[in-house]
Structure 1
C-alpha cells in the first residue's frame, strides 16, 4: 500500500511538472530586480509579426507573468527595475517614434513619461531612483543623452560629445558612463564623465562595437558586449561579453559562445550575470556564474 501511494504521488508530481508550458520565441533584454528574486524581459512568439510585450518571472524561470498589454505599441524594449523595486521603466514605439513609459512592477498604473519627437529609448534609473537618463534619436541628427525627473518632468540634455552617444548610466559618484563614436566614427567605445560633461575619460580603445556598459553593484567593474573578435565587425555578427575595471584596465572576455551574447545585467550580489543568447534561431536567457564559470539556461515556464 505504501509503495502504491508513493507511486501515485510521483505520477501526480510528474503530471504537474509536465503541465507547465515553456515560453518559446524571441526572449531578451533581461533585468534583475533589486532584491534578486525576479527578472523582467521582453517576449514575442514571432519577433517579425507579433507584439513584443514585457513579462516578469521568478529568477529561476517560474511564474511567468505578462505585464504590458497595449497593442498600440507593437514593440516594447529595455525594461529596468527602479532601485526600490517598485517600478519598471521601458520604451515603446508610438506614433512614428518611441517614448519612455513607467509602470508598477506588477504591470499596473502604466504612465507615459515623454512626449518628444523622434525615438526616445533606453531608460535607466539614477542610483537613488529620483531621475531617469535616456537616449533621444532624432529623425535627422545625432543620438543624444537626456535626463529627467522620475515623473517625466524637467527634461534636459546631458553634455553630449560630437558623436552618436548611447546607453547612459548614472553612477553613485554622479558620473555618467556611456558608449560613443565621437573619437572615431562608427567605432563605439565606452567613456565616463561628470554630469556636467567635465573630466571625460575613455575607458576602452577597441575596434568594433562596444555597447551596453553596466557597472557592477560595488562599482569596481563594467560589463559590456562587443564584436571585437568578429572578423567582419558586423553589428549582426558575433558578440561576446567582456568586463573591465572601472578605470578601463583589466580587459577580460567573459563568454565565447557561438552567435551573440547580449544585454548582460548584474545580479545584485555581483556573483552572477544574466544575458540573452542568440544562435541559429535559438533565443533565450542564461545565467553566468562568475564564481565557477558555469552557464545555465533559464527555462521560462507558466
Structure 2
C-alpha cells in the first residue's frame, strides 16, 4: 500500500509538471488571454496566436507612410490602413483580408490623420479628414468602402464605433454620442476635469464599456459618459488601450524604453493600479519566442 501511494504521488507530480510546462511553452504568451493579437511591428503588420505563440507577418509595412494607423474588424476578417502620397494631397485607403490580400481600396484628397476605424458591419470607415476646400477645419468623416462620404462631425479629436453603429467621440467640448444614422450627436460628458482632450478610444465588443487615455494614462467609462474612473498610473506613458475579445482584459503599449512601445496586458482592475515598467507585476509583457513585442499601433485582439 505504501508503494502504491508513493507511485500515485509521483504520477500526480509528473502530471502537474507536464501541465505547468505546457502552459509555459504553449500559453503564457498572452498573460492568460485568448484570441489573435494584431499589431504593427517595425517592418510588418503581424498577427500572433496568444495561445500557441505562433506569429505571422500579414502585410509588409516597411515603406508605408503611417505604420501605426491600422484597424482590424471586430469579426477578425479585415484590416484597414492608409498611405499618403509624398505631397500628402492624395490618401489611399486599403482594406485587406486578414490573410493579407487586398479586398478593396479608395482614395480621398488632402489631408487625413487619426486611426481609421471599420464600422461593426464593415460597410464604412471613419477617419479625421481635413479637405483642402475647408482647411484648416477638420471633420471626423465617414466613408463607404468605395470612398463616398456619408457623414461628418466637425472638430472631433477621436472616435470609436459602438456595436449598434453609433459612434462615441471626443472633442474640446466634451464626450459625444451619435445616433445610429450618424446625422447628429449629443454631448454625454464634460472633459474639463482632464488636462487634455481624451483620446485613443476603444469600445468593448459588447458595447458596455469605453477605454480612453488622458495624460498618457488609461481610463474607462460607460458608453453614456457615466462611471468614469482611472485604471492606470505610472511615471511613463500607457498608450493605445484595447479590450480583449471577451472584455475581461486590457491590452496596451507601455512607452518607457526608447523606441520600443512594448505590449502589455492586464485584468480590468477594480481601482487605479500603478504600472512598474521594470517588472511584469500587474501588467505582464506579451512575448514572442521569449522576446518582448514592440508595437507602433494599438494592439487589437480578435
The answer to whether the superposition gives a TM-score over 0.5 is yes
Unaligned runs of 5+ in 2: 1-20, 26-32, 274-281, 292-302
Shift of 1:72: 4.6
Alignment counterpart, residue 192 of structure 1, candidates 177, 198, 203: 177
Alignment counterpart, residue 157 of structure 1, candidates 135, 151, 154: 151
Alignment counterpart, residue 204 of structure 2, candidates 189, 194, 216: 216
- 8 Å CA contact 2:40–2:68 kept in 1: the answer is yes
> 1:52-103: CA deviations, max 9, x gaps?
5322212358233222225552432232222332211123333332432211
Cα RMSD between the aligned structures?
2.9
- 8 Å CA contact 1:126–1:170 kept in 2: the answer is yes
Q: 1:112 to 1:198 in 2, by over 3 A?
A: closer
- 8 Å CA contact 2:263–2:285 kept in 1: the answer is yes
Does residue 1:247 correspond to 2:237, yes or no? Answer: no
Match of 2:28 in 1: none
TM-score by length of 1: 0.70
> 1:93-136: CA deviations, max 9, x gaps?
33332432211102122643323222254211212222222221
- 8 Å CA contact 1:214–1:224 kept in 2: the answer is yes
3-state SS of the aligned residue for 1:296? coil
TM-score by length of 2: 0.70
- 8 Å CA contact 2:170–2:197 kept in 1: the answer is no
Q: 1:61 to 1:274 in 2, by over 3 A?
A: farther
Alignment counterpart, residue 170 of structure 1, candidates 144, 161, 167: 161
Unaligned runs of 5+ in 1: 1-12, 18-34, 45-51, 184-188, 228-238
- The 2-side partners of 1:215 and 1:204 are apart by 19
Aligned length: 244
- 8 Å CA contact 1:40–1:79 kept in 2: the answer is no
